[in-house]
Amino acid sequence: MKRILYITLMAAMMVSCRLSNTSSTFLGENELLVTRKYMGNFLEYRQTGFEEFAGPSIIWIKTSMDSTYGKIAAYGKKCNFNAGDRLYLRRIYVTPGIMGYWTYQIENDSSVFYEVMRYQSDKDIMTEELF
């Protein structure tokens, strides 16, 4: 009888330890997932793209931290940021099916945002390297 009780207690303890370890392995205990990064205050923008064709229009956003990050390339015909707006680069994990991927957007504290291009040709880097 004592042996059955001992085996039952050991099994229960092993199961509880296994359950507690699996929840902490999804995101490490000391990991911090950054999804928003300050990119500087908005200064000005320049628009390039096609007026007559259906190609993408690109806006080049210049911020106060232009020397660090360069001009940020985003999709849009015009930029609705106001001078002095604090701009943030946000990454969002999208899961359309089984596999997911990160998308990036530049936004202010209000509800204005633009999708950022994957390749930032001003600094010759990929957008994910800004994090």
Contact 40, 65 (CB under 8 A): yes
Contact 110, 87 (CB under 8 A): no
Q: How many CB atoms lie within 10 A of CB 23?
A: 8
pTM passes above 0.75: no
Q: For the chain, what are the domain ranges?
A: 36-130
pLDDT recorded at residue 113:
87
83-105 pLDDT, tens per residue? Answer: 889 999 998 888 888 888 888 89
pLDDT recorded at residue 25:
40
65-84 pLDDT, tens per residue? Answer: 888 778 888 988 888 999 88
Residues 40, 45, 50: CA angle, nearest 5 degrees: 140
